[in-house]
C-alpha cells in the first residue's frame, strides 16, 4: 500500500515538473517574423480610410495589430530608404543617398536586421525585393542585395518582366520602365506575376520552417511602375471613378514652394513626362490602385498560410512600404520630394500580446523597425542604432512619453538637398539649411500642404523651434554638399 502511495506521489511530482518545464519552454519560445514590403505604395488604401481602394487583407492585418497613421521614410527613394531600414541607420550615417550598390563598400561591418536574426539562430530568407532592385530591369536577379543578411534568397521573374513588350507606355519613353507612365492588364493568374511567385515561395518556407524560428521577408515589387497586375484587379476600379486634381489648382499649390523642392518635376510638369494627358494620368492611377489590390491579395495568402500552420499566435507580422508616392496631386508624380505624400507610407505591426485594431498617430520612422524587432524578440541589437523601439506604442498607441519626431531628407546633388521634420502637428523643411528656402505646413488645418507658412510673421516662433529641432539631424558628409 505504501509502495502504491509512493508511486502516486512520484507520478504527481513528475507531472508537476513536466508542466513547469513546458511553461518555461512556452515562455521562451522565440517569435517568428513575417516581414512584408511593398514598393512605392502610398496611403491611398482602404485600410487608411480611402473610400475607393480595396484592401481587405490589410484591413484584416490592422485588426490583428496597430496601424501607424504617421509613419515616415528616411529618404523617399528606394535604395537609401531600404538600406536605412535594414541597418537602423540614417542615410547620412551610411553615406548612401542614391541607388548605387554600396552598402558593404561603405559600411563593411554593419550588422543588418536579417543578419542579427541569423546570428541568433533564426532562419533568415527573402523572396523578391527588400534591398534596392531596378524595377523591372533587375527583376530575377540579386540586384543590390546583401548576401550576409540571408540564409536563402529567391528571385522570381513573372510575365511583368518576361513580357515587357506588352506594356502600354505614355509619353516619350527614352529609357527603361523604372520611371514611366506605363501599365498592362493581362488576363492572367496571380501566380504568373513576379509578386504572385514571391508569395508562393514565402508560403512554402512557412510550411518548411514552421518548427524553427524564422525571419521571412516577402518583398513585393508592386505598385512600382510599370503598373502591371491581372485584369481582375483593374476591374475593381472603373475609370469613371478615377479622378485627378484640376491642373490650375495644382499649379497654384506650388506658387509658394521653394524652387528646389520641385526642381526635378517642373521642366515637364505635369506628370513628369511631356505630352501625358489627364486621361492617361487617370489610367495610370487606375493601374496603380489595381496593383495595390493585387499586393493586398498576396498578403492575404501569407496570412492564410500562418493560420493554416498554427503560427499566428507566435508570429510578428510587419507590413511596410519604402516611401509614399504622388499620383497627380499638385500636378506631380512619383517620389523624391519632401512633401507629406512622398515621405509618408503605410506601416502596420501585429505581434503576440498586443491589442489589435488600434491605431497610433505618433510620428514614427522606418528605421525604428530594427530596434522594435530586436526588442520584441529579445535580441541584443547593435549599440549604434539610430531608431527607437516602437514597443511602447504597440502597448499604448497614444503613449504620452513618445516625443520623437520623424526626419526625412532629400538629396539630388551637392547643390540640391534638404531635410524635413514632422511632429504631431507640423511639417517643417529646410533646403540647403534654409539658404534655398523653407516650408512650414500645419497638418491640423492643412493636411494637403497647400499653404506654406514659413514666411508668415505669426509663425516665426514655430519656424525657429522646428529649425532648432531639425539641426542635429543635418549630418550630410562634406563630399556630398557644396557650401
Average pLDDT of every residue of the chain: 94
Secondary structure (H, E, C), 68-100: ECCEECCCCCHHHHHHHHHHCCCHHHHCCCCCC
Cα(131)–Cα(342) distance, integer angstroms: 19
Task: Give percent of the chain with pLDDT exceeding 70.
Answer: 94
Average pLDDT over residues 158-180: 91
Measured distance CA(73)–CA(69) in Å, rounded: 13
pLDDT for residue 311: 98
The CA angle 428-48-216, to the nearest 5 degrees, is: 95
The answer for residues whose C-beta is within 8 angstroms of residue 415's C-beta and 6 or more apart is 482
pLDDT at 29: 81
Average pLDDT over residues 300-314: 98
Catalytic residue, candidates 43, 78, 291, 377? 78
| pLDDT tens, residue by residue, 441-479 | 999 999 999 999 999 999 999 999 999 999 999 999 999
pLDDT band, residue 174 (cuts 50/70/90): low
Q: Which helix (H) or strand (E) holds 421?
A: strand 416-422
Where helices occur in 125-262 by DSSP H, the ranges are 159-162, 194-208, 231-234, 247-252
Q: Grid coordinates standing for 339?
A: 512633401
Q: What percent of the chain stands above pLDDT 90?
A: 93
Task: Please return the burial class of 82, using the count of CB atoms within 10 Å of its CB with bins 0-12, 13-18 and 19+.
Answer: buried
Given this model, what pLDDT does residue 5 score? 53
The pLDDT of residue 7: 52
Residue 405 zone, left/alpha/beta (φ > 0; ψ -120 to 50; rest): beta
Of residues 458, 269, 420, the one with CA closest to residue 341: 420
Among the listed residues 303, 133, 120, 287, the one whose alpha carbon sits nearest the alpha carbon of residue 214: 120
All structural domains of the chain: 32-396 (3.40.720.10), 408-480 (3.30.1120)
CA–CA separation, 375 and 395 (whole Å):
13
3-state secondary structure of 39: strand
Residue pair 411/478 in contact (Cβ under 8 Å)? The answer is no
Question: Does residue 363 register a pLDDT over 60?
Answer: yes
Would the pLDDT of 10 be above 80?
no
pLDDT attached to residue 28: 55
Question: Is 78 a catalytic site residue?
Answer: yes
What digits encode the pLDDT tens for the residues 98-135?
Answer: 999 999 999 999 999 999 999 999 999 999 999 999 99
Per-residue pLDDT tens over the stretch 365-398: 999 999 999 999 999 999 999 999 999 999 999 9
What are residue 318's phi and psi, to 5 degrees?
-125, 125
- Pick the catalytic residue from 132, 193, 224, 323: 132
Place 172 in a pLDDT band, splitting at 50, 70 and 90. confident
Q: Is the pLDDT of residue 16 over 70?
A: no
Looking at residue 13, its pLDDT comes to 47
Distances in whole angstroms, Cα of residue 222 to Cα of each of 3, 22, 110, 218, 443: 71, 43, 29, 12, 29
pLDDT for position 20? 37
pLDDT at residue 24, as a whole number: 32
CB 345 within 8 A of CB 77: no
Does 132 participate in catalysis according to the annotation? yes
Spatial contact of 135 and 124, defined as CB atoms under 8 Å apart: no
pLDDT of residue 44: 98
Which pLDDT value is given to residue 15?
44
- Contact by Cβ (8 Å): 358, 123: no
pLDDT for 275 equals 93
pLDDT grade, residue 338 (50/70/90)? very high
Order of all β-strands in the sheet with 426-431? 406-413, 416-422, 426-431, 438-442
Confidence of residue 175 (pLDDT cuts 50, 70, 90): confident
* Predicted pLDDT of residue 30: 93
pLDDT in tens, 76-93: 999 999 999 999 999 999
> What's the length of the chain?
483
pLDDT beyond 70 at 1: no
Mean pLDDT over 5-15 rounds to 48
pLDDT of the residue at 14: 46
Torsion of CA 48, 40, 182, 336, to 10 degrees: 120
Q: Which of 21-25, 33-37, 43-47, 250-254 has the lowest mean pLDDT?
A: 21-25
pLDDT by residue (tens digit) across 382-441?
999 999 999 999 999 999 999 999 999 999 999 999 999 999 999 999 999 999 999 999
Per residue in 215-237, is it b (16+ CB within 10 Å) or e — as a string?
bbbbbbbbbbbbbbbbebbbebb
Amino acid at each position: 500500500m505504501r509502495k502504491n502511495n509512493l508511486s502516486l506521489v512520484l507520478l504527481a511530482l513528475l507531472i508537476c515538473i513536466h508542466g513547469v518545464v513546458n511553461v518555461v519552454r512556452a515562455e521562451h519560445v522565440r517569435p517568428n517574423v513575417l516581414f512584408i514590403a511593398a514598393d512605392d505604395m502610398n496611403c491611398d488604401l482602404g485600410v487608411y480610410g480611402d473610400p475607393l481602394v480595396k484592401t481587405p487583407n490589410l484591413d484584416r492585418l490592422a485588426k490583428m495589430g496597430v496601424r501607424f497613421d504617421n509613419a515616415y521614410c528616411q529618404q523617399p527613394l528606394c535604395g537609401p530608404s531600404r538600406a536605412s531600414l535594414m541597418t537602423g541607420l540614417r542615410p547620412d550615417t551610411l553615406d548612401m543617398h542614391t541607388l548605387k550598390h554600396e552598402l558593404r563598400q561603405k559600411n563593411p561591418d554593419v550588422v543588418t536586421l536579417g543578419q542579427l536574426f541569423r546570428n541568433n539562430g533564426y532562419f533568415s530568407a527573402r523572396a523578391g525585393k527588400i534591398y534596392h532592385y531596378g524595377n523591372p530591369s533587375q527583376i530575377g536577379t540579386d540586384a543590390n542585395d546583401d548576401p550576409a543578411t540571408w540564409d536563402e534568397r529567391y528571385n522570381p521573374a513573372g510575365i511583368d518582366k518576361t513580357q515587357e513588350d506588352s506594356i502600354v507606355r505614355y509619353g516619350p519613353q527614352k529609357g527603361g520602365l523604372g520611371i514611366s507612365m506605363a501599365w498592362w492588364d493581362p488576363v492572367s493568374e496571380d501566380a504568373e506575376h513576379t509578386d504572385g511567385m514571391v508569395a508562393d515561395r514565402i508560403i512554402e518556407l512557412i510550411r518548411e520552417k514552421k518548427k524553427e524560428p524564422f525571419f521571412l521577408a516577402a518583398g513585393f515589387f508592386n505598385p512600382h511602375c510599370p503598373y502591371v497586375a491581372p485584369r481582375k484587379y483593374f476591374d475593381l476600379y472603373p475609370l469613371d471613378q478615377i479622378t485627378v486634381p484640376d491642373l490650375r489648382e495644382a499649379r497654384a499649390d506650388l506658387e509658394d514652394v521653394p524652387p528646389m523642392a520641385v526642381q526635378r518635376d517642373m521642366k515637364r510638369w505635369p506628370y513628369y513626362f511631356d505630352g501625358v494627358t489627364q486621361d492617361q494620368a487617370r489610367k495610370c492611377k487606375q493601374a496603380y490602385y489595381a496593383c495595390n489590390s493585387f499586393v493586398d491579395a498576396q498578403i492575404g495568402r501569407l496570412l492564410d498560410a500562418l493560420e493554416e500552420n498554427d503560427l499566428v499566435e507566435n508570429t510578428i507580422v510587419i507590413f511596410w512600404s519604402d516611401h509614399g508616392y504622388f499620383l497627380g496631386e499638385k500636378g506631380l508624380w512619383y517620389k523624391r520630394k519632401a512633401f507629406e505624400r512622398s515621405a509618408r507610407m503605410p506601416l502596420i505591426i501585429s505581434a503576440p500580446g498586443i491589442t489589435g485594431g488600434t491605431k497610433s498617430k505618433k510620428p514614427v520612422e522606418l528605421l525604428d523597425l530594427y530596434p522594435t524587432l530586436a526588442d520584441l524578440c529579445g535580441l541584443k541589437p547593435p549599440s549604434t542604432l539610430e531608431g527607437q523601439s516602437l514597443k511602447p506604442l504597440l502597448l499604448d498607441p497614444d503613449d504620452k512619453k513618445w516625443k520623437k519626431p520623424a526626419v526625412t531628407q532629400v538629396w539630388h546633388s551637392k547643390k540640391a538637398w534638404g531635410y524635413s521634420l514632422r511632429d504631431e502637428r507640423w511639417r517643417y523643411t529646410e533646403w540647403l539649411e534654409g539658404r534655398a528656402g523653407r516650408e512650414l505646413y500645419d497638418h491640423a488645418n492643412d493636411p494637403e500642404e497647400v499653404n506654406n507658412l514659413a514666411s508668415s510673421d505669426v509663425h516665426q516662433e514655430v519656424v525657429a523651434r522646428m529649425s532648432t529641432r531639425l539641426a542635429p539631424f543635418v549630418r550630410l558628409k562634406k563630399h556630398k554638399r557644396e557650401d
